[in-house]
Amino acid sequence: MKSAHRFLVLVAAMLTSAASAQVSLAPPPAAPDKAAPDKPAAAPPKPDAPAKPKARPVAKKPAPSPAPAANATPAAPDDPNADLVFGAYQRGLYKTTFDLAMKRVQEKGDPKAMTMLGELYAHGFGLKRDDAKAAEWYKRGADAGDREAMFELAMLRMVGRGGPVNREEAAKLLASSAKLGNPNAAYNLALLYLGGETLPQDLRRAAELMRVAADAGSAEAQYALATFYKEGTGVPKDLEKAARLLQAASLAGNADAETEYAIALFNGAGTPKNEAAAIALLRKAAKQDNPIAQNRLARVLASGQGVPADKVEALKWHTIAKTAGKGDPDLDQALSSMSAEDKAKAEAAVRRWFSTKGP
């Protein structure tokens, strides 16, 4: 029962994150036709609730570079079969992109070009942003069978851009796009099955869809699926599979996965125990503003377990984590006896940290 309750809390957090994340569309469409110690104590610490997955569409392509002159012409590609529309888009030549995409629509009825026009209008690249026109072009691309257009239109329908909110239509579009192999659609459809509002809750189906996206390289899906295996929800409980997925997601730079994988490494849960590697990952995730990593790093630094004790640095990370809402009464007590001089050093380090973050 305790595990089930924790998972339901996790689901709610994922969906809350998704509600805001889905407002922003994923970056450019694909080219056409182509987990730390728990307490500073002698015994190996145990993690508490897992870090929450960030529910958001997975980036499909790098964001384009800033636009140069609006009417510039892209250099001819070395490969004569390369796509001129997408090439211009990647170079930030949005006026050229629009003209070439429109020509392909008019001459060939190309659904990928329709999707590109939707992208230009959705982001206001090279022209005034127009959600209604973006939705219109995405719909034309979706009706013509383009999986990226289906996904992007689903994201608009989910939040009511370019028309009223229509989560049912969004779910159908995501299902169609996922069926055509779009991992972003599979991931977001899994979130709907997790929530149990737009679609009946189906944890097994959510896990299947997460696996599709995870196998395609989505770090967010790898992290979420690792949580499934860790909790045994929708799939058989398997700490080794959870650890492997966390490792994959952490290698892709997912700070939540780095934190959870560090916890697994520190405790030897599903993977050989390796405190040094765990602490290195905690430092990396802490520097990426992950409050759980900051808290766990403060704990090991305060206790000197797996790393030389450093209470000044421990107080620094403890204070930063508290600012983000990750308080820890045990650390408050453990660090309360520090000298005034050491506390002042930690406070200065905290100020330097926040001074580099900007407004």
pLDDT at 21 over 60: no
Phi, psi of 8, rounded to the nearest 5 degrees: -65, -35
- Would you place residue 295 in the very low, low, confident or very high pLDDT band (cuts 50, 70, 90)? very high
pLDDT of the residue at 359: 59
pTM score, two decimals? 0.75
pLDDT of the residue at 8: 42
* Per-residue model confidence as pLDDT tens digits over 238-282: 999 999 999 999 999 999 999 999 999 999 999 999 999 999 999
pLDDT of the residue at 167: 96
pLDDT of the residue at 225: 97
pLDDT of the residue at 49: 34
Whole-angstrom Cα distance, residue 226 to residue 207?
Answer: 10
- Would you place residue 83 in the very low, low, confident or very high pLDDT band (cuts 50, 70, 90)? confident
Q: Which of 84-93, 146-155, 293-302, 343-352 has the lowest mean pLDDT?
A: 84-93
- Helix axis angle for 291-303 and 275-287, nearest 10°, is 130
Interval 173-187 mean pLDDT:
97
pLDDT of the residue at 358: 64
pLDDT of the residue at 38: 40
Do the Cβ atoms of 185 and 151 come closer than 8 Å?
Answer: yes
pLDDT of the residue at 47: 34
pLDDT of the residue at 357: 81
pLDDT of the residue at 210: 97
SS3 string, the chain, reads CHHHHHHHHHHHHHHHHHHHHCCCCCCCCCCCCCCCCCCCCCCCCCCCCCCCCCCCCCCCCCCCCCCCCCCCCCCCCCCCCCCHHHHHHHCCCHHHHHHHHHHHHHHHCCHHHHHHHHHHHHHCCCCCCCHHHHHHHHHHHHHCCCHHHHHHHHHHHHHCCCCCCCHHHHHHHHHHHHHCCCHHHHHHHHHHHHHCCCCCCCHHHHHHHHHHHHHCCCHHHHHHHHHHHHHCCCCCCCHHHHHHHHHHHHHCCCHHHHHHHHHHHHHCCCCCCCHHHHHHHHHHHHHCCCHHHHHHHHHHHHHCCCCCCCHHHHHHHHHHHHHCCCCCHHHHHHCCCCCHHHHHHHHHHHHHHHHCCCC
SS3 string, 299-357, reads HHHHHCCCCCCCHHHHHHHHHHHHHCCCCCHHHHHHCCCCCHHHHHHHHHHHHHHHHCC
